[in-house]
Amino acid sequence: MLSRFQDPICAIATAPGRGAVGIVRLSSGQDLTPLIAGLCGRSLNPREAHYLAFRDADGQAIDHGLALLFPAPHSYTGEHVLELQAHGGPVVLQLLLARCLALAREHQSLQAMRLAEPGEFTQRAFLNGKLDLAQAEAVSDLIDASTEAAARSASRALAGALSGEVGELRDALIKLRMLVEATLDFPEEDIDFLQQADALGRLTRLQAQLDAVLDRTRQGALLREGIKVVLAGQPNVGKSSLLNALAGAELAIVTPIPGTTRDKVSQTIQIEGVPLHISDTAGLRDTSDEVERIGVARSWDAIEEADVVLFLHDLGRIGEAAYEAGDAEIRERLARVDPARLLQVYNKADTPANERARQDLTLPADAVQLSAKTGAGLAGLRAALLQHAGWHAVPEGLFIARERHVQALRRTAEHMELAQAVARQDPPALDLLAEELRLAHDALGEITGAFSADDLLGEIFSKFCIGK
């Protein structure tokens, strides 16, 4: 894997299409002076912008722009980096890229230059120690951020907030491991490890610190991934109206005709900076209409994948036998859904209804009553959505995180709990304690890339944009 990272690389670093400015970026472990001379016709001072003509093979100007040289190791990748800032027309940038590749082929040290793969510049920054893996992922997260809160949190992660938290945990674990290993390696010293080093107390404090980091990481993962919310229920209970009310736009068609929505309609909104990916689905019922039947099947598929399912009820039809039977059928099938993912929503609170039936209705403790038409109760629904997803405000600024970070911390916590159980034994099995601490240390290392398989790195960086 590492051999291909010795090749010089180049790519267009700006988004496809027309723009005022476009950038071609090159990175090489070898000196770029021969290429710079052929393209720019002069030498470049490090980290200084030079306005000049970019020349083709005949000496004619391809374009005029800025050239910046960042010699190794003081560059983004840790290698020699050249950035060419030209006008942002796609033809101009392709001509510049082709000229760079042609010049490289003329010089033995640069003959292996090739087009960069997605994320390869950042991957080289990671491999050359300019960023750890969590920071490298934060680069992509900052680019892809869909809310202001996500962008700010990604910036904190890029600055090392998550890495710093993990580093503190790692240092504490290393000290514990050193004490345990010393006891195992020098039993003749008769070190009373548990009492003198307060191993159990250290483990307890470390577990509490780990729990706090895990909680903050879960919040960061919500900022990045968002929450998948599905609106479910019988036809005409107000699912499309609720989607429109939450989105603040007429996204879904609303009519009194049952079965109007036949396919999934989705929209991303934000609540307190958390992205919510909300999907309106076809009304859940038995139907002879082939198209609607396909839509209902897709509704159930979406329910299976949702983080939160809003089961909508129509307060205006409470007490109607056919309606109650339909709700009971849906409720029976939804019994397979984790109750923590299910939120009961009673819509159309503004409509007249069978008052006796409504008075006899016993709502679940966490149910929400609202009117998608008037907007009454929407604030309560937004708060309930965040609560069901596990979101809560934290006192300090959040850092962006990924699900793999959460899973790594959970594995760390599992090994820490096992280590505590071993430490409480009399006498403790120090070899088992040492092994659980080692496994916890390895799980932490996965977050920053101290212990990373090549296939994991390939998966992470392949999702970056080309040129980054």
356, 355, 360, 379: which is closest to 369 by C-alpha?
379
Cα–Cα distance, 414 to 348 (Å, whole number): 46
Confirm or deny that 314 is annotated as ligand binding.
no
Cα–Cα distance, 113 to 103 (Å, whole number): 10
DSSP secondary structure letters along 44-80 = --BT--EEEEEE-TTS-EEEEEEEEEE-TTSSSSSSE
Confirm or deny that 349 is annotated as ligand binding.
yes
Confirm or deny that 136 is annotated as ligand binding.
no
Confirm or deny that 350 is annotated as ligand binding.
yes
Give SS3 for 199. helix
77, 75, 55, 74: which is closest to 64 by C-alpha?
55
Cα–Cα distance, 240 to 283 (Å, whole number): 10
Confirm or deny that 374 is annotated as ligand binding.
no
Confirm or deny that 204 is annotated as ligand binding.
no
> What are the residues whose beta carbons fall under 8 Å from the beta carbon of 18, sequence distance 6 or more?
88, 89, 90
Confirm or deny that 462 is annotated as ligand binding.
no
Q: Which residues pair with 231 in a beta bridge?
A: 280, 310
Confirm or deny that 23 is annotated as ligand binding.
no
Confirm or deny that 287 is annotated as ligand binding.
no
Please give the structure tokens belonging to residue 189: 């010293």
Confirm or deny that 354 is annotated as ligand binding.
no
Confirm or deny that 183 is annotated as ligand binding.
no
Confirm or deny that 83 is annotated as ligand binding.
yes
Confirm or deny that 239 is annotated as ligand binding.
yes
The answer to whether 337 and 309 have CB atoms below 8 angstroms apart is yes
Confirm or deny that 128 is annotated as ligand binding.
no
> What are the residues whose beta carbons fall under 8 Å from the beta carbon of 248, sequence distance 6 or more?
269
Confirm or deny that 228 is annotated as ligand binding.
no
Confirm or deny that 307 is annotated as ligand binding.
no
Confirm or deny that 256 is annotated as ligand binding.
yes
Confirm or deny that 109 is annotated as ligand binding.
no
* Type of residue found at 16: P
Confirm or deny that 283 is annotated as ligand binding.
yes
Confirm or deny that 373 is annotated as ligand binding.
no
Confirm or deny that 244 is annotated as ligand binding.
no
Confirm or deny that 339 is annotated as ligand binding.
no
In this structure, the number of other CB atoms found within 10 A of the CB of residue 46 comes to 11
Confirm or deny that 22 is annotated as ligand binding.
no
CB half-sphere exposure, 276, CA atoms < 13 A: 28
Cα–Cα distance, 188 to 33 (Å, whole number): 62
Cα angle 257-258-263, degrees, rounded to a multiple of 5: 110
**Binding-site residue positions for Mg(2+):** 240, 261
**Binding-site residue positions for K(+):** 236, 255, 257, 260
**Binding-site residue positions for GTP:** 236-241, 255-261, 280-283, 347-350
**Binding-site residue positions:** 25, 83, 130, 236-241, 255-261, 280-283, 347-350, 468
**Binding-site residue positions for (6S)-5-formyl-5,6,7,8-tetrahydrofolate:** 25, 83, 130, 468
